[in-house]
A and B are shown apart, each in its own frame.
Chain A
């Protein structure tokens, strides 16, 4: 699991690579912790190289979404592969998180 964070003209761009599961969910949460209090509440997450997310991953996305909303920003997940998208669909998380 790899998390790359870049700030570009007032927006935070995140690239996620690999699986988010029980073995690395804590690490993922630590990696994105700066985004929970950053100055740029607008976050775009590129999921094209993300291969799976477990429930722990969903919970972290939910925390991040709440934090972004509280700061008046927007969070968008992009380029999700069909397998990962299905996890969001069957759990109803597509109704909570914006996936484009």
Chain B
């Protein structure tokens, strides 16, 4: 390796783009969140005033914001464990020596991940339809009552969670499958010779060996699920009764519908802080449990 001025020709274009169109806006967002940037400031910058932390204070006493945060936490708290459970279940089955047609099944199970979110949300909106949706038809066939999935404030978020799990589980499934394949086969053979049951082998070999991967998957999935937006935008438009308004949906409306750009920046920053805090908490809990 040698020091070279030519190196800058290789990195400068990418760094310039990332600097100007990512780092600069992130720093500016922090600054903007301390101003009352609104539609008047958009028209004429002389209407802009510094308001210190007042946007944050306003948000923290605003019921719609807390409602959006509550909805998002609900989505994360239920959606992430469910999503990882399905990923782990399918990864374990695919990793089993008994499984057949592995490459085909792996591709099929992964397919929803690469589909376009908006397009598949349109499909699911129809599957969830109260009057002629297939899900209600299937429930009726086994004697259960019809539910107005996307029209009932109690069921709209669970419906979105089911959809999100279907869309996303394949991603973590692939990562967990790679983690399972990295566990040495000898460990299982030794345990089998000692007479360990399948459940015990899972409990004392698979889970501990997989826990670093599970930790990482958990952190990435939580961060991703906090960014819920397109699902409610397409399937429920935040309704019914605001039951599916997420933090990002709230930010989108605050910023690009009402043009309260200062307040929207504060929402974005709060979301970032929350994700950061939850990630730190996850790392702390897992290190206390002795992972890594």
A, B from the same assembly: no
Residues of B within 8 A of A (CB): none
